[in-house]
Chains A and B, each alone.
Chain A
Amino acid sequence: VKKREIFELKAELNSDKKEKKKEAVKKVIASMTVGKDVSALFPDVVNCMQTDNLELKKLVYLYLMNYAKSQPDMAIMAVNTFVKDCEDPNPLIRALAVRTMGCIRVDKITEYLCEPLRKCLKDEDPYVRKTAAVCVAKLHDINAQLVEDQGFLDTLKDLISDSNPMVVANAVAALSEIAESHPNSNLLDLNPQTINKLLTALNECTEWGQIFILDCLANYTPRDDRESQSICERVTPRLSHANSAVVLSAVKVLMKFMEMLPKDLDYYGTLLKKLAPPLVTLLSAEPELQYVALRNINLIVQKRPEILKHEMKVFFVKYNDPIYVKLEKLDIMIRLASQANIAQVLAELKEYATEVDVDFVRKAVRAIGRCAIKVEQSAERCVSTLLDLIQTKVNYVVQEAIVVIKDIFRKYPNKYESVIATLCENLDSLDEPEARAAMIWIVGEYAERIDNADELLESFLEGFHDESTQVQLQLLTAIVKLFLKKPTETQELVQQVLSLATQDSDNPDLRDRGYIYWRLLSTDPVAAKEVVLAEKPLISEETDLIEPTLLDELICHIGTLASVYHKPPSAFVEGGRGVQHKRLPARAGSGESAESPDVGQAVSAVSDAPPAVIPSQGDLLGDLLNLDLAPPTSNVPPVPSSMQMGAMDLLGGGLDSLVGLQCSSLMVSSVLGGAPVGMPAGLGAAPAVGGGLGDLFDLGGGVGVTAGSYIPPKTVWLPAMKAKGLEISGTFARRSGVIHMDLSFTNKAMSVMTDFAIQFNKNSFGLAPAGPLQVLTPLSPNQTVDVSLPLSTTGPVMKMEPLNNLQVAVKNNIDVFYFSCQYPISLLFVEDGKMDRQVFLATWKDIPSENEAQFQIKDCHLNSDAASNKLQGSNIFTVAKRTVDTQDMLYQSVKLTNGIWMLAELRIQTGNPNSTLSVKCRAPEVSQYVYQCYELILRN
């Protein structure tokens, strides 16, 4: 600013005329806003502060806030006026004064601030209180110690209970900001009472206040799923807010608290449905909003793909979307791609590949490759789409296509090699390192199928030193591969590349790799073959998914910068300010008592089960056993089979990780960790009793088995993709009272598999292999072997969810693989399951009616006799039959290997394909599995 200008302004500021003064201050402010330095006028402007004119006062305050820091001594001059204004009868002036004081970042002044601020925090006018709340945060930023010493934090906490929602919202905002610099301070101590207050204020405060409150709510961990549901219910209306930040904050709260809701709860489904429309709506907003929304949706579809699985079309790219929106949409399209919509997605991607924007086109071509890897059924179409694109001869399209085809080859080995010829035609047009490297990899990998592989690779060798490192390394490896496959013709070539890499290069990586190959080839060619031509791990789409624990943390940060960058806040928050890692609440963690009825009972039933079954031996069950069998069996000791111990050692580490894996997954964590800890000891006895009984009966009553039991067809339990080429399919059968697991092992890999072993995780009914797995001969590629593994029910017991879930580890010479399968519970129905009529009647009456469950069996065209016969085949015995009019009633009994009895009434109406099944049992959580068996047996 020119001196003369300052001089003139000075004169005007000191004018007697009010109007002139005001105009002068305005001029000063105008200069200030455009960045001119008018600090020299400080004393003159401050002199204008004592005025009744509110506009002039505001203008002077504006000036003060800007320059006080550079003129601290002068700023003291203003303090008196502030203190006076804080007592003004007009609340607007009181609020203005307290607001401005906080913005004057001068240490000396802050001391004078405390008393007026204390008064304003308790002001009768809520407008002043809410302004004062923010002022505490300002003051804390300048002098945190002072704020704590003066007890302002406690006053601020009290304001959370203020009668005015705006005051509550500002108090929350101020506390959140302060808490950010004190991560462990527990400032926002949330309990159900404060949460209730916040939820009430949520409905009435401004949109900005709603954001603060929702963000604060998201830090709370509800005590149980009921509280979680009730908060969700009260937050859901925010999804219809016009302010997108409110919507996204509400989504965050819901996504987080949803984690605690049982999945079979109706409300859970309702909530999922409610989340989709607001997310879609965000995409019709301005591009910047869309971008932030898309980055968050990217997280949401990874966490809960079901929310948006039907909304693929909203992510289709419009040609005038900004590039940053286009790229995000593309990414989400691939994440949502599935067999159901792949045709549509591919058509779109092909369209994008002809767009103008090069970056976008490249990404679209890559997307086609990712689709091929993600949706196996579409791989063929993707490859043909890529070939079409290669035919366009557009240089960057061809190069991108070759890079992704390389990945497709890795994912589906030996499937699409027919396209290699087409790729080779485009060799000359490749000028990008990545594409060249990809092409060289392909040539090396399939050298035995490409007649002129040596010529092709040799052509690259000519300009070896001009290539980038990536290409050089790839070329070196490819030529060594070629040599190992066709050693006779390529000796010269390999010599050449090794000397280029080791002698003429000064790149240490390249030299090292060169020397390693050289030494390998010269000392042990067989070892070299094993190393260089080793089987490569299959790639999967998971490579570009966010790692689950990070994803869970990011879900807690929806709507924040962390969610935009897909990095935890700790990665980019300024130094010194620690950040707490947020975690999703565990579903069952707190919900033991209040889980959904099913799960809750199931959990408690496990611990209750032994008392329910064993003590009852004294009465009903005991009577029965004593009647049929003279010796009491309760002293049969549990026999841990030695075989199993051995197997445990074999796969010990693997199993640990299997269990560990489960523990880290959120759903089960504390059920496994907490509740059942004391359980196996108690339960250990129960199955042993049952098991022992079963054995005894086998000796005596094995003859009684007549009709064969139903055996479900084999299904694939472990796809080859997940097990390095080993495919396992199987089923369960009960033959002559012994449970068998019938397995088929198929080797879909290229190398021979040997050394098979199997091990089960603890499960609900103590199923365990009764002998080692008998795969005698090595399994050569494309060979299948069928094995029948007898099972015992004396293994360790642990409640599984679902009850009939079985987790299995299979080992071979390559690795250990894990899978889980579900067995029909009819497997466990023992042959002595027929109850005496009288006992049946007494038992039926004895079991409380709330343990009765009713099911419909549809489309079963059997008459009662046929049904009875069929069921008997699976050890469901008809105790009695009654006929009323056209309705037959079968009374049936079933006994499980662990001694649990199940009583059933099956009502069959002649001519009606639907029958009704009522099941009564002391352990009602088993009922639905029994029903499933009925259905399975009767329908097949």
Chain B
Amino acid sequence: MIHSLFLVNATGDIFLEKHWKSVVSRSVCDYFFEAQERATEPENIPPVIPTPHHYLISVLRHRIYFVAVIQSEVPPLFVIEFLHRVVDTFQDYFGVCTEAAIKDNVVVVYELLEEMLDNGFPLATESNILKELIKPPTILRTVVNTITGSTNVGEQLPTGQLSVVPWRRTGVKYTNNEAYFDVVEEIDAIIDKSGSTITAEIQGVIDACVKLTGMPDLTLSFMNPRLLDDVSFHPCVRFKRWEAERILSFIPPDGNFRLLSYHVSSQNLVAIPVYVKHNITFREGSSQGRFDLTLGPKQTMGKAVESVLVSSQLPRGVLNTSLNPSQGTYTFDPVTKLLSWDVGKINPQKLPSLKGTMSLQAGASKPDENPTINIQFKIQQLAISGLKVNRLDMYGEKYKPFKGIKYMTKAGKFQVRT
């Protein structure tokens, strides 16, 4: 099981260590640092590193490496999922997951880690339960605690810990009962030179914020549940009911949680909401290259494409650029060769464009690589897969909750090859 955890910052300092079994010397991290030196980019460090006596499994989040040490055969995904849970918990408790936040709250961090894992076995990882055991630090509570001498550690066994609904605590009370659901879809796509789609798929999630009194039992149904053939559920969802009726039936956790995530594969027809016209050329023997890029909307069901950000890693030979955006601002970093253009909203009547020249090193040969264009965007009030919630009902409680459903589509890894 998980032996120890080291937190390492970007400069390679270990700023926190926690051992759940015997102490493992921090020199074991030297193997990690070696791998770090070899990797060209911070994210290229292999997730599993073998050492003579241990294995190091690491994730990089918020520029902190979470390095877990294991000694025996343990499923790596188990370790990685646990590390993700640690990151999520820190973020949940401190608002941000940074070195400074962790250092400021080092005792709470220690208490949390101790509560999350026992002898390497996960103990309590649900945010609802942890919060009953260890109260998150707030400025107010720190003040109150110092005056009254009370503590931020719960004295009672968390109620959800052993019930059949371990994700929900009992005795929840709200004056305003509300349930919000956000359907958020990310579209991953690779578009080739000629503008045709090589692959496109949608990763969707339904994130919920449920603040309802008591033990509400919710059902959520869809207009077109057929779209959801590849889904992962929060443990609260009753799987049998979904299999039989394609209805989500669940007693929700209290507060924020991810109800389900789904995947619409490339075998379905995925609508591509933007197109790019590009002309990036270099000529042999010339020290100038042409750069010409135009963006336009398509298949957006009439919704506006917003927060558009275009970025591209230009070839190493490019010294500088002189470009003219029709809207928004652009920057080019001559060191990293990263071009980034903050477009904003696409106006279908006046398509945004970025045109101009790139200067190359004099006498250098024509670059071999073709830059890929990365596009980010958002479309409000649209789930690009066409997924629509039909109705949301509540059983088990008498009051009438306020219900809301929001849709949004974002670009995930949306890449255009040139």
A and B associate in one complex: yes
Chain B residues within 8 Å of A55, by CB = 111, 151-153
Total chain B interface residues with beta-carbon distance under 8 A: 95
A164 touches B78 (CB 8 A): no
Write the nearest CB–CB distance from B4 to chain A, whole angstroms: 12
Query: Taking the nearest CB of chain A, how far is it from the CB of B104, in angstroms?
Result: 10
Give the complex CA separation of A691 and B141 in angstroms: 96
- Within B154-207, the residues touching A (CB, 8 Å) are 154-157, 161-162, 164, 166, 188, 190, 192, 198-199, 201, 203
Interface residues of B in 228-258 (CB under 8 A from A): 229-235, 239, 243, 258
Tell me, in angstroms, the Cα distance from A284 to B231 when the chains sit together: 12
Q: Which residues of chain A have C-beta atoms less than 8 A from B370's C-beta?
A: 354
Query: A18 vs B77: C-alpha distance in the bound complex, in angstroms?
Result: 43
Q: DSSP class of B's interface residues: helix, strand, loop or mixed?
A: mixed
B188 contact set on A, CB distance < 8 A: 284, 318
Which of chain A's residues have a CB closer than 8 A to the CB of B23?
66, 69
B146 at the interface (CB under 8 A from A): yes
Q: Find out whether the CB atom of B41 lies under 8 angstroms from the CB atom of A322.
A: yes
* B198: contacting residue among A35, A316, A324, A565, CB under 8 A: A316
Q: Tell yes or no: A33 within 8 A of B by CB.
A: yes
Contact B153 A54 (CB under 8 A): yes
Check A313–B368 contact: CB distance below 8 A. Answer: no
CB-CB < 8 A to A293: which residues of B?
77
Please determine whether B153 and A58 come into contact, CB atoms closer than 8 angstroms. yes
From A30, A138, A289, B119 is in contact (CB under 8 Å) with: A138
Binds A, one of B9-17, B324-332, B341-349, B356-364: B9-17
- In the assembled complex, the Cα of A562 lies from the Cα of B72 at a distance in Å of 11
The answer to the question of B395 belonging to the interface, with a C-beta cut-off of 8 Å to chain A, is: no
Chain B residues within 8 Å of A380, by CB? none
Residue B277 interfacial (CB < 8 Å): no
Residues of chain B with a CB closer than 8 A to A191's CB: none
| Residue from A34, A240, A319, A574 in contact with B72 in the complex, judged by beta carbons closer than 8 Å | A574
Q: How far is it, in angstroms, between the C-alpha of A323 and the C-alpha of B21 when the chains are bound?
A: 33
Tell me whether A240 and B73 are in contact in the complex, defined as CB-CB below 8 angstroms, given that A35-B26, A287-B43 are known contacts: no
Among the listed stretches A2-10, A201-209, A708-716, A859-867, which one makes contact with chain B, having 4 or more residues with CB under 8 Å of it? A201-209
What 1/0 mask marks residues of chain A from 566 to 581 whose CB sits below 8 Å from any chain B CB? 0001001110010000
Q: Are A354 and B368 neighbours in the complex by a CB distance under 8 Å?
A: yes
**Is B114 at the interface (CB under 8 A from chain A)?**
yes
Indicate if A796 sits at the interface (CB-CB under 8 A).
no
Q: Which residues of A contact B386 (CB under 8 A)?
A: none
Which partner residue on chain A sits nearest B129 by CB separation?
A: A206
Hey, which chain B residues are within 8 Å of A137, CB to CB?
119
A502 within 8 A of B: no
Establish whether residues A278 and B230, one from each chain, have CB atoms under 8 Å apart when the complex forms. Answer: yes
CB-contact partner of A62 in B50, B114, B243, B313, under 8 A: B114
Interface string of B46-65 (1 = CB under 8 A from A): 11101001010111000000
Contact of A33 (CB < 8 Å), options: B1, B17, B368: B17
- Bound CA–CA A206/B122 (angstroms): 10
Give the residues from 269 to 312 in chain B that come closer than 8 angstroms, CB to CB, to chain A: none
Give Cα A562–Cα B55 distance, bound, in whole angstroms.
12
> Could you tell me if A573 and B72 are in contact, using CB atoms closer than 8 angstroms?
yes
Q: Nearest CB to that of A31 among chain B residues?
A: B106
- Nearest B residue to A273, CB-CB: B229
- Choose the segment among A241-249, A717-725, A844-852 that binds chain B (4+ C-beta atoms closer than 8 Å): A241-249
Question: Number of A residues whose C-beta is below 8 Å from B?
Answer: 99
Count, A-B residue pairs, CB within 8 A: 236
Minimal beta-carbon separation of A358 from chain B (angstroms): 10
A82 at the interface (CB under 8 A from B): no
Q: Are A316 and B162 in contact (CB under 8 A)?
A: no
Q: Is A314 an interface residue (CB 8 A)?
A: yes
A170 to B123, CA, bound (A): 10
Known contacts A34-B16, A91-B157, A351-B417: does B190 contact A316 (CB below 8 Å)?
yes
Q: A317: nearest residue on chain B (CB-CB)? A: B190
Q: Does A436 contact B (CB under 8 A)?
A: no
Q: Is B267 an interface residue (CB 8 A)?
A: yes
Which of B58, B71, B230, B415 has the most chain A CB atoms inside 10 A of its CB? B230
Question: Which of B74, B80, B235, B369 sits near A354, CB closer than 8 Å?
Answer: B369
B149 located at the interface, meaning its Cβ lies under 8 Å from any Cβ of chain A in the complex: yes
The answer to whether B374 and A356 touch across the interface, beta carbons within 8 angstroms, is: no
**A115 at interface by CB-CB < 8 Å:** no
Distance from A750 Cβ to chain B, minimum over Cβ atoms (Å)? 40
**CB atoms of A348 and B76 under 8 A apart:** no
**Docked pose: A781 CA to B220 CA in angstroms:** 72
Of chain A, the residue at the smallest CB distance from B372 is: A319
In the complex, what's the smallest C-beta–C-beta distance from A906 to chain B, in angstroms?
A: 43
Residues of B within 8 A of A314 (CB): 199, 201, 265-266
Nearest Cβ in chain B — how far from A314, in angstroms? Answer: 7
For A276-313 the 0/1 string (1 means CB < 8 A from B) is 01101100101111011100000000000000001101
Contact between chains at B125 and A208 (CB < 8 Å) = yes
Q: Which of A41-49, A98-106, A696-704 contacts B (4 or more CB under 8 A)?
A: A98-106
Among A126-134, A752-760, A923-931, the stretch in contact with B:
A126-134
Shortest B250–chain A CB gap in Å is 13
Give complex CA distance A30, B105 in Å.
Answer: 9
CB distance from A533 to the nearest CB of B (A): 40
| Residue A19 CB within 8 A of the other chain | yes
The complex places the Cα of A127 from the Cα of B198 at a distance, in Å, of 52
Instruction: Check if B410 is an interface residue, CB within 8 A of chain A.
Output: no
- Say yes or no for B397: interface residue by CB 8 A criterion: no
Q: Is A29 an interface residue (CB 8 A)?
A: yes
Cβ–Cβ < 8 Å partners of B125 in chain A = 206-208
Residues of A within 8 A of B355 (CB): none
Residue of B nearest to A56 (CB): B151
User: B118, A131: Cβ atoms under 8 Å?
Assistant: yes
Q: Does B84 reach chain A (CB closer than 8 Å)?
A: yes
Within 8 A of B (CB), among A58-94: 58-59, 62, 66, 69, 90-92
Residue of A nearest to B237 (CB): A240
Closest 3 CB pairs of A and B: A277-B230, A55-B153, A288-B47
Ordered by A's residue number, 18 sampled pairs between the chains whose C-beta atoms are within 8 Å are: A18-B149, A30-B107, A55-B111, A55-B152, A126-B162, A138-B119, A177-B1, A177-B72, A240-B232, A242-B260, A245-B81, A280-B263, A316-B190, A318-B188, A319-B313, A322-B41, A574-B72, A577-B72
Interface residues of B (CB under 8 A from A): 1, 14-23, 26, 40-41, 43-44, 46-48, 50, 53, 55, 57-59, 71-78, 80-82, 84, 106-107, 109-111, 114, 118-119, 121-122, 125-126, 146, 149, 151-157, 161-162, 164, 166, 188, 190, 192, 198-199, 201, 203, 229-235, 239, 243, 258, 260-261, 263, 265-267, 313, 316, 368-370, 372, 374, 413, 415, 417
